[in-house]
Amino acid sequence: MSYLNIVEVESGVASLAAAFPTTTDLVPLPEPSAEGRACNALRIGTHRLEPKNAVVLTGGLHAREWGSCEILVNLAADLLHAHAGGTGLAYGGTHFTAAQVRTVLEELDVVVFPLVNPDGRHHSQNVDPNWRRNRNPAMSGGNPAAIGVDVNRNFDFLFDFETAFHPLAPVRVSNDPADPNQVYQGPEPFSEPETRNVRWLVQHFDRTRWYVDVHSYTQTMLYVWGDDDSQSDDPTRNFRNHAFDGRRGLKDDLLYAEYLPKVDADDSAVLAEQFCRALGGVRGKVYTPKPAFDLYPTCGTSDDYTYARHIVEEGGERILAFTVEWGTEFQPLWPEMQKIVLDVDAGLVQFCLTALGAD
């Protein structure tokens, strides 16, 4: 075997939906990509009359991070086959019982969207392995190097970074379509069908309580915030307060720190720690749970946007949001990637159990 191409990812999702009709729903996303490709997600869980809380898992936002799709397709297959067979799951030294698998499928909707950016993945696998963005040519001016938007900078969170951040903050974003680091944010929030599809999915599953975006690399499990250090003492220091514009994004300074209620900080830390613990049990790999800002300052990311929704939208439900950064390179040799798939899937199963309070 080797990495899946985009047709194989989509056929894998569709095949699982066809093979397990009583525990899945195929979820067509509303918008095709810039190159006209349709996308699908998969809801995994037993059907019942009363609504269930959901965890939404996305992958493939960055084209060159090939293994994210495999991680999520394999997770879906593992959960469905184990549930149907009444068996547990074993990932190296980390084990889950049949009862734990049943708990995940009966008490939770696991929504898997493995390939958010199919155009970018196709280009990365066939033309330029280092390609990160989507393939929207609208802002390129005919320059091939300026095609595309960084999907994970196009969400609506501190999008006006030149105003929001300190001039010296090393924020990883750009308003230049030809930026060599491929972190062009796009002309406006949600300008891209890929980000609008993710937004739609979270809105469609209106009992979403947890969100995990799967990326590479650095062997970390990140939680909000990404724009600055977090603090739980001063709620006036928040991303909506323009009095703090121009102060965000500097490490260990006294100018600013983003407000995060202590209960959310504590819950996020526990979920990230349990993910890393289960992952480490597979074959001893050490992943570090930490706030996203500890990696580097960002804005317009899926996790910060998803968590911030309940603050911005009146009456919205809180969604704890995370980013997995698997491995130590974008495209490991396939034998190593197969091991990483098992690592991360063990962490994600444990994440679901911890979210349910079912450890």
| pLDDT > 80? residue 358 | no
Residue 245 domain-assigned (yes or no)? yes
In the predicted model, what is the mean pLDDT of residues 129-155? 97
In the predicted model, what is the mean pLDDT of residues 93-113? 98
In the predicted model, what is the mean pLDDT of residues 31-58? 94
Residue 55 domain-assigned (yes or no)? yes
Tell me which of 85-99, 204-218, 309-323 is least confident: 309-323
Dig out the tokens for 186 from the structure. Answer: 């796009």
* Sequence-ordered alpha helix ranges (H) in the chain: 6-19, 67-85, 98-107, 118-126, 161-164, 193-204, 262-283, 302-312, 334-355
User: Tens of pLDDT along 291-340?
Assistant: 999 999 999 999 999 999 999 987 788 999 999 999 999 999 999 999 99
Residue 48, pLDDT score: 78
Separation CA 96–CA 103 (nearest Å): 11
Domain CATH number, residue 328: 3.40.630.10
| pLDDT > 80? residue 1 | no
In the predicted model, what is the mean pLDDT of residues 80-107? 98
Share of the chain above pLDDT 70, in %: 99
For residue 315, give every residue at least 6 positions away whose Cβ sits within 8 Å of its Cβ, in sequence order, or none. Answer: none
Residue 338 domain-assigned (yes or no)? yes
In the predicted model, what is the mean pLDDT of residues 73-95? 98
| pLDDT > 70? residue 359 | no
Residue 1 domain-assigned (yes or no)? no
Residue 255 domain-assigned (yes or no)? yes
Query: Element (H or E) spanning 324, and its range?
Result: strand 320-326
User: Is 300 within 8 Å of 159 (Cβ atoms)?
Assistant: yes
Per the prediction, the chain carries an average pLDDT of 97
Separation CA 57–CA 214 (nearest Å): 7
Q: Which domain, by its residues, includes 39?
A: 6-355
pTM over 0.95: yes
Number of folded domains that form the chain: 1
152 — pLDDT class (breaks 50, 70, 90)? very high
Residue 24 domain-assigned (yes or no)? yes
Residue 265 domain-assigned (yes or no)? yes
Kindly list the distances between the CA atom of residue 336 and the CA atoms of 34, 56, 130, in Å, as whole numbers in the listed order: 32, 26, 19
Longest dimension (CA), the chain: 57
Residue 311 domain-assigned (yes or no)? yes
For residue 199, give every residue at least 6 positions away whose Cβ sits within 8 Å of its Cβ, in sequence order, or none. Answer: 155, 190
Question: E strands along 175-296, which residues?
Answer: 208-216, 220-223, 230-231, 258-259, 288-291
For residue 69, give every residue at least 6 positions away whose Cβ sits within 8 Å of its Cβ, in sequence order, or none. Answer: 4, 9, 59, 60, 114, 115, 121
